[in-house]
Amino acid sequence: MTHPTMLKVNGARLWTSLMDLARIGPTPKGGSCRLALTDLDTQGRDLVTGWMKEAGLDIRTDQIGNIIGRRAGQNPGLKPVAMGSHIDTQPTGGRFDGCYGVMAGLEVMRILNDHGVRTQAPLELMIWTNEEGARFAPAMMGSGVFCGAIPLQSALETVDRDGKTVGDELARSGYAGSLPVPGVLPDSYFEAHIEQGPVLEDERKVIGVVSGSLALRWYEITVTGNEAHAGPTPMHLRQDALFAATHLMQAVVRIARAHAPEGRGTVGIVDVRPGSPNVIPGTVRFTVDLRHEDPARLDDMDAQLKLACRQLSETVGYAVQASLKETWDFPATPFDAHCVGLVRDQAEARGYSHRDIVTGAGHDAVYMATVVPTAMVFVPCRDGISHNEAEYAEPEHLEAGANVLLGAVLARASACGLP
């Protein structure tokens, strides 16, 4: 008889579940659009919670709308071993980001039912609210509230572009639960996810053993020059805010490249005012995202960016102001060595090629890692593309990641309560 920790998931069933969920909110290019707490997100929640009930899970919902499905263990006094992710998407998102972690966790529950395996500790499957942050900022809201990092009332009062609040939309969707938050913490948390980057595919590795997350800082930079008519104003007499801002944007990339291989620097949103074709731009606002796994090196990147802002007038040769405001600071978060080891052990035991990797993206697991032992399982995605309708992962890789998740969770659940 196969030892429970070496059971294998039903890969075809896992794929079918992912594709069935993707039928809710399909996009023209084959992706998914289910913004948090919209009608389409609610339909997705209804579908998945229906599957969870069919798998015999006891479903509860907390005050921020996180869904928790529990499978009983032999010892109800033990804390549960949790899995999970999210099913909300970007406006033109893919079929796998977040959804894979939920469906892989559900498949773990299903395969244990198929084989009549009852774990020592209970198991839980968690669907987090508003992980993407595409409709309501900040991202990872549900897990942030659950872990006590984001105040509940602040989250409930968050407004979208149409003036609708998270609280009102939770009530409208029927997913405003009664379980208090911060929540009762599980023993540990495991999350399966597509890599959202190109490393595993480039190195032909099937499993990424995630050791932790990069630290990140977000900024908003405002460059102020002087508006003037594009025709009568000679080039040497201009105070062009956009030309000046492009020097800072290039500095962001240079700074990140100087801190390779883990340095990241991105300009994501640019707002040029007054936005007329025959007016020299007087104000430019843009966002900057800096990341690194080493806090000291991120501090150095931060210092270099601020220096570039101070020296901007000297760089461009005319009077211009650059003000920098830090909008978000998230520290590097190491994952639990024992849980990470279980993931690595399972990849080796099952014969999957693998490598240790850090995540450059934010995940619910990053918040969970601040309060309970946590690990993640990565699988490759084609060309490293994510947050995109073209997002794709091979069925056999998804199955491999779910098998590693299954084995790691079973090993953890069997050891719960042992000295």
pTM over 0.95: no
pLDDT digit string, tens, across residues 145-197? 999 999 999 999 999 999 999 999 999 999 999 999 999 999 999 999 999 99
- Helices vs. strands in the chain: H and E counts, helices first: 13, 15
Alpha helical stretches, state H, 178-294: 199-202, 241-258
What is the mean pLDDT of the segment spanning 306-335?
Answer: 95
Tell me the average pLDDT of the chain. 96
- 3-class DSSP state for residue 106? helix
**Domains in the chain: boundaries:** 4-213+332-415, 215-330
The mean pLDDT value for 219-228 works out to 98
In this predicted structure, the answer to whether residue 377 has a pLDDT above a threshold of 60 is yes
pLDDT confidence of residue 6:
79
Asked if residues 378 and 210 have their Cβ atoms less than 8 Å apart, the reply is yes
For residue range 103-122, what is the model confidence (pLDDT) as tens digits?
999 999 999 999 999 999 99
Is the domain spanning 215-330 CATH 3.30.70.360? The answer is: yes
pLDDT tens, position by position, 28-86: 999 999 999 999 999 999 999 999 999 999 999 999 999 999 999 999 999 999 999 99
> Does residue 416 surpass a pLDDT of 90?
no
pLDDT tens digits, 252-267:
999 999 999 889 999 9
pLDDT of residue 415: 76
Show Cβ contacts of residue 378 under 8 Å, excluding neighbours closer than 6 positions: 192, 193, 194, 195, 200, 207, 208, 209, 210, 357, 359, 401
Strands 215-224 vs 81-85: parallel, antiparallel or unpaired: unpaired
Which CATH class name applies to 4-213+332-415? alpha beta
